[in-house]
Structure 1
């Protein structure tokens, strides 16, 4: 999820997070999940999602760790219910032991009750933290089971949210369970994770009257709509069909005819970046340019899922991937001045992010990393 707790999935394909399902079996926008990062969401916005995009369910961030309560949870739940959506919740987990898992479940359950999450709703554990990454599969399985068993004592149904790369790798996700995130280039008619409850296929979906990008999922069972009564149906089927078709497209279209464009800029690197011999991640690395390096570029191109820039050098050119083709944010910012934090023993992405008023995802991305990247004492991270 995002902190905006959502997964920063690794690898070239997942980093680009592009979805080009232009076929008749394009993924549906059955469920939206929201957190404090989406800001205040009105009933009107949820009604628009329902009527124009076919959204059936809403999953609201409730809590994180053992202390954080999402300040927008109560309004999201109330306004989502008023719009006739099935409403669920999720807790962003940091537990490493059985006792911590139970303590976080108690905290999440009590918080969910206080903000009005209806009994019978799903209260999923969002397992994507650095803590979980450092545990064995067996330990994660035991901790997840303990959390979910405890959650049921509050009258909520349980489930696990994680990435496709973690499912059955970092933890066990059995058939007929699980909410899995995976953002492919092309679906080609495939219904991903069809044996699981839900498949989150985009983290950048747009809605007509709402600002920013949203996480959207296709429901492959009725698990996230069961146990709550709603007879509300989308009122504009034509709009639903057209908007879902649009949502399954991207501005990025792979092409062998991509052209370089003039772009004369001076950049200061926010993080260490590989300088390649060509505009491809498979091309050889000339060197790794450290954070703080100033470079001048003369061309830019969108190719292979990335936005590339070209750096003139004394013996030719070097090429840098500045970010996903679908993302206007770059690893580099022109003339940037930064504040750095030196990692100490015991630090995690979460503790550093909380200390500096950032989300883990934002902290990691502005350092050119994912929340799954191991950080070490003495390492410097950009925090401003």
Structure 2
């Protein structure tokens, strides 16, 4: 497991670069009005010290989409290298107890960034965020006592249901917020990366290419009124028949040939949707 410390504006600046920790999680924003003035100071110090980084938002329970947008606008420069998290607790949170708020927040943040937030919550309140268990990792707070001032991992059972386990466990919160992280450095880096599917590339518009030749059918086929397999048939040809064509069209699935006729054109499939040639081209 990795060791992580989480810091905010009143934390000693030295916490961001502790020699024995692997990750520094920095408070970035709160509500839609507050940006931690020490956020980038601690973030850049941790980065220089070669720590893995995280950034988190403290919920005030206003409109969840607005808070997610505020968080994103203030941390988008860190997206891709820092793991984002949302801090859901009772203090200063007018929506505490609402079981849909956090899901709306993380969904909006994911829409904007492509990254799913970790969710910080005390073990006794996991039910408030349980509907996020298939989307987000869990950062659970569960202490053996209020004065556990050690990096020694407590021997205690931690509730994570419906998560199978935690991604982060915060086990002290008095003199320092100590955490253990249930992944590797590579795993942490993966959590920071976007999971939003890349937009599908626009398919190139199919265009006719002027090309003359002959096509000898390897099976019975139809001449169509237009280059669509469902279009009306002009004629039915048998295996061994040969047609002349003056242009080709590679459509999304099939290769079409254009046959000059006394009244306009006819169209025949030369390759099927699997790329199989249906005759002999010359």
Partner secondary structure for residue 28 of structure 2: strand
Deviation at 1:166, TM superposition (A): 0.9
Cα distance in 2, alignment partners of residues 118 and 171 from structure 1: 23
| TM, length-normalised to structure 2 | 0.55
Cα distance in 1, alignment partners of residues 85 and 191 from structure 2: 16
Deviation at 1:174, TM superposition (A): 2.9
Cα distance in 2, alignment partners of residues 107 and 46 from structure 1: 24
| Aligned equivalent of 1:90 | 56
Deviation at 1:214, TM superposition (A): 1.7
| Aligned equivalent of 2:244 | none
Partner secondary structure for residue 157 of structure 1: coil
| Aligned equivalent of 1:103 | 66
Equivalent residue for 1:214, pick from 163, 176, 181: 176
| Aligned equivalent of 1:157 | 116
Partner secondary structure for residue 125 of structure 2: coil
Equivalent residue for 1:146, pick from 104, 125, 147: 104
Cα distance in 2, alignment partners of residues 64 and 134 from structure 1: 14
Question: Alpha carbons of 1:224 and 1:133: their partners in 2 closer, same or farther (altered >3 Å)?
Answer: farther
Correspondence 1:64 to 2:26: no
Equivalent residue for 2:173, pick from 196, 203, 206: 203
Partner secondary structure for residue 227 of structure 1: helix
| Aligned equivalent of 2:86 | 125
Equivalent residue for 1:178, pick from 131, 135, 138: 138
1:287-342 Cα offsets, whole Å, 9 max, x none, are xxxxxxxxxxxxxxxxxxxxxxxxxxxxxxxxxxxxxxxxxxxxxxxxxxxxxxxx
Deviation at 1:226, TM superposition (A): 2.1
CA contact (8 A) 2:7 2:16 kept: no
Partner secondary structure for residue 129 of structure 2: coil
Question: Alpha carbons of 1:80 and 1:224: their partners in 2 closer, same or farther (altered >3 Å)?
Answer: farther
Question: Alpha carbons of 1:57 and 1:73: their partners in 2 closer, same or farther (altered >3 Å)?
Answer: same
Which protein, 1 or 2, shows the higher relative CO under an 8 Å CA cutoff with sep ≥ 6? 1
Cα distance in 2, alignment partners of residues 188 and 62 from structure 1: 29
CA contact (8 A) 1:121 1:156 kept: no
Name whichever structure is richer in strand by fraction.
2
RMSD between aligned alpha carbons? 3.0
Question: Between Structure 1 and Structure 2, how many residues are aligned?
Answer: 178
Partner secondary structure for residue 120 of structure 2: strand
Say which one has the larger Rg. 2
Long gaps (5+) in structure 1: 1-27, 205-212, 230-384
Cα distance in 2, alignment partners of residues 171 and 224 from structure 1: 23
Long gaps (5+) in structure 2: 193-282
| Aligned equivalent of 1:312 | none
Question: Alpha carbons of 1:94 and 1:203: their partners in 2 closer, same or farther (altered >3 Å)?
Answer: same
User: After superposition, where does 1:298-337 map in structure 2 within 5 Å?
Assistant: none
| Aligned equivalent of 2:41 | 75
Deviation at 1:119, TM superposition (A): 2.0
CA contact (8 A) 2:118 2:137 kept: yes
Equivalent residue for 1:227, pick from 163, 166, 190: 190
Equivalent residue for 2:6, pick from 9, 33, 39: 33
